[in-house]
Chains A and B, each alone.
Chain A
Amino acid sequence: MNHPAIRYIVIIGTAAFLQYTVFSQFRIAGVSADLFLVVAIAAGIVAGSERGAVVGFLCGICLDLLVVTPFGLGAISGLVAGVVAGLLEGATIHSARWLTAAIAFLSSGAGVVAFAIAGALLGRPDLLSLRVLTVTLVVGASSALLVFPAVRVCRWADPEVGRLRAAVR
Chain B
Amino acid sequence: MASSRRGGRSRITIGLLLLSAVLLLTLDGRGSGPIDSVRSSVLTVLSPLGGAATTVASPFRNAWDSAFDQNDLKKENDVLREENDRLKGDISANSIAKEQLQQLLQLVGIPFVGDTPVVHTRVVSGAVGNFGDRIELDKGSSSGIERNMPVVTGQGLIGKVVEVGENRSVVALLSSGTFRVGFSVVGTAAIGIAQGTGNDGSLRGTNIDSRQAVTVGAITATSGLAGSPFPPNLPIGTITAVRTNEAALESTVDISMFANLNDLVYADVVLWKPAS
Contact = CB atoms under 8 A, between A and B. Distances in A.
Interface stretch (B9-17, B150-158, B268-276): B9-17
A53 B196 CA distance: 32
Contact of B21 (A25, A49, A54, A72): A72
A71 B130 contact: no
A108 B128 CA distance: 17
A71 B38 CA distance: 11
A67 B13 contact: no
Contacts of B14: 49-50, 53, 79, 83
Interface stretch (B49-57, B112-120, B219-227): B49-57
B21 A60 contact: yes
Decide if the interface of chain B is mainly helix, strand, loop or mixed.
helix
Interface string B29-67: 100000100110010001001101110010011001100
B212 to A, nearest CB: 25
A73 B25 contact: yes
Contacts of A126: 176-177, 195-198
B151 to A, nearest CB: 13
Contacts of A83: 14
Interface in B177-206: 177-178, 195-200
B117 to A, nearest CB: 25
Contacts of A98: none
Interface in B79-132: 125-132
B20 A57 contact: yes
A79 B11 CA distance: 12
A75 B20 contact: yes
Contacts of A63: 128-129
Decide if the interface of chain A is mainly helix, strand, loop or mixed.
helix
B24 interface: yes
Nearest to A116: B131
Nearest to A76: B21
A26 B57 CA distance: 9
A149 interface: no
A32 B131 CA distance: 10
A25 B57 contact: yes
B39 A31 contact: no
A5 interface: no
A67 B64 contact: no
B197 A20 contact: no
B38 A65 contact: yes
Contacts of B49: 17, 20-21
B27 A71 contact: yes
B46 A20 contact: yes
A25 B25 CA distance: 27
Q: Shortest 3 CB-CB distances between A and B: which pairs?
A: A126-B177, A21-B53, A72-B25
16 contacts: A20-B46, A20-B50, A21-B49, A22-B57, A24-B129, A30-B262, A50-B10, A53-B14, A68-B132, A68-B162, A68-B172, A70-B25, A73-B25, A75-B24, A119-B131, A122-B25
